[in-house]
Amino acid sequence: MAAPMIAFVSGGARSGKSGVAEALVDEWQSARGGARFYLATATARAGDDEMAARIARHRRERGDGWLTLEPPLAFAEALAAMPPGSTVLLDCLTLWASRVMFEAGFSQAEGRAMLAAGLDEARRRDFALVVVSNDLNEELLPRDALVWRYLAFLQALHRDLAAASNRVIEVVAGRAIDWKGGDS
């Protein structure tokens, strides 16, 4: 079985992150074999027509060959049910973080522990895991304390994920910039 790999793909909204992440999943899965899973954090949360259209477009563009799951907040549970050696795309951490903070009311420490548990499970099961998230730190600074709290939480998750990842990629205007592990 191949060694576990973790990649973090970030960038601005609509920068092309998902396409870069899906290409990486395809590359890793064809090299490793095994099943290919898509953990959708937004599928059940299509709250408006624009989001529903984006979800439908992403499904079309991905095509067949993906096993799609909507993970619980403790996505380590979803990973534990997958066969060892799988290749997994979690899209996206931004929405997962908002669910953790706003829907479930978990603290930053609890959310970070949930992410760490998912990463540990991926390593234990020899997964290739690609995690996508929006880089909201480059947007205008918010004046709202709750938004500041969310941004602090998301950036803490990003730091944790970047530190734990074998590869870190930023996507700008559809172009992938490797910040860590691009030679792998």
Just list the catalytic residues.
Answer: 58
Q: Cα separations (Å) of 135 from 10, 17, 89, 108, 151?
A: 6, 10, 17, 18, 10
Rounded Cα gap, residues 18 and 4, in angstroms: 21
> For the chain, how many helices (H) and strands (E)?
6, 7
Beta-bridge partners for 176: 171
Alpha carbons within 13 angstroms on the beta-carbon side of residue 154 total 23
| DSSP, res 144 | -
Helix ranges (H only) for the chain are: 17-32, 49-62, 76-80, 93-98, 108-124, 145-164
The DSSP H or E segment spanning 170 is strand 167-172
Alpha carbons within 13 angstroms on the beta-carbon side of residue 50 total 1
